[in-house]
Amino acid sequence: MGRHQNRRGFTMVEVLVALLIMALMLTSITRMLTTVRTTRDHIHNTQETMLAGPAIVDLIERDLMGLSILDRPHHQLISIRNRVELGLDADRIDFVTTTDGKEWEVFDQRAVRADMNEVGYVARPNPEYDEFLELFRREDLGIDEDPFEGGRYTFLHDRVLGIEIEAYDEEGIDAEPIEDWGNQEGDEETSGLPIWIKISVTLELAPRLLREQLVRTNPGDRVVTYTRIVRFPETMRIAQENTPRVAIPAPSEAAGGANDPVQGGLPGGAAGGGRGGLGGLDGPLPGEGDARSGGQGSGRKDE
């Protein structure tokens, strides 16, 4: 007669304990993944705050600190235009700078760039999101008779909520900002160089989608304004009143002899030595095409 063997499985208590352990493990893993995701998003937003905005205002300041005043009429030293797009400040600024060109041009199978260029910053409505502006940097190789037009546009940022540029012609806490400056021949009050310029660029940080789905945040917390003040040295403002100019002799005088002295003093700046738009965009951007590559596109905007 065979011996009866007891056969037994898992009890209900053992099954419940196993499920509890698995649930605790899955909960811990989920929390860890959530923390990693949140940290990644925080790093992304921190980089956006510390890199994008400061890089833009640093670029504008560097170009302004290289502003050239030699051999230029007063109304063509710097142009600031007060503009509004989509109800947002979209000011535009143009000038001539001694900053080396960022774009290379090909002439006679050689890549060249100028050490004096026409530069500007312009914004236009974002074609994909109508609540934002797009910011571009304009650069025209060399200098021509119209330093505030032409050139190529390089894309800078597409989540701009405003760019405000104000000029000041006096010191003190009661100084009144001037929203339009330069580019008006005969207007002595707003020609030449202002004492200082205030630049404010407002950006909305581009948040990570997953984080924004998990946590509801105030949209205002993602809006950051970067402000930079550029003050022109007094020596530069004095120099513009006594800018040396080269006197070009008439053809009959030039043919008289090569030893005749050239009047007018030192040849400052680069008087009309550059090429114009090079097929680029002129004036306010028409809003067609794409200039993100920095090439000869159809435009991007600024006030």
Of the candidates 163, 143, 161, 149, the residue with the CA atom closest to the CA atom of residue 120:
149
Name the more confident of 158 and 251: 158
Residue pair 141/113 in contact by the 8 Å Cβ criterion: yes
pLDDT of residue 281: 41
* More confident position, 20 or 7: 20
Q: How far apart are the first and last CA of the chain?
A: 103
Q: Quickly state the pLDDT bin for 8 (edges 50, 70, 90).
A: low
Q: Tokens 């005969």 identify what position?
A: 186
What's the maximum distance between 2 C-alpha atoms anywhere in the chain?
A: 141
Q: Can you tell me the mean pLDDT for 276-293? A: 43
- Whether 94 and 136 have beta carbons less than 8 Å apart is answered as no
What is residue 214's predicted lDDT score, i.e. its pLDDT? 47
Give the per-residue pLDDT at 209. 53
* Whether pLDDT at 43 is above 90: no
The neighbouring-strand residues paired with 135 are: 123, 157
Mean pLDDT value across residues 35-47: 79
Task: Report which of residues 158 and 274 the model is more confident about.
Answer: 158
213-247 pLDDT, tens digit each: 445 555 556 788 999 999 998 888 766 665 555 55
Which range, 8-12, 13-17, 35-39, 299-303, is most confident? 13-17
Give the rounded percent of residues in the chain with a pLDDT score beyond 70: 68
Question: What per-residue confidence (pLDDT) applies to 116?
Answer: 87
The pLDDT assigned to 271 comes to: 36
CA 20 to chain centre: 56
pLDDT of residue 261: 42
Question: What are the φ/ψ torsions at residue 47 (nearest 5 degrees)?
Answer: -65, -40
Residue 259 confidence (pLDDT) above 70: no
H-state helical runs in 48-124: 53-65
pLDDT in tens, 135-151: 999 999 888 888 888 88
Of 5 and 126, more confident: 126
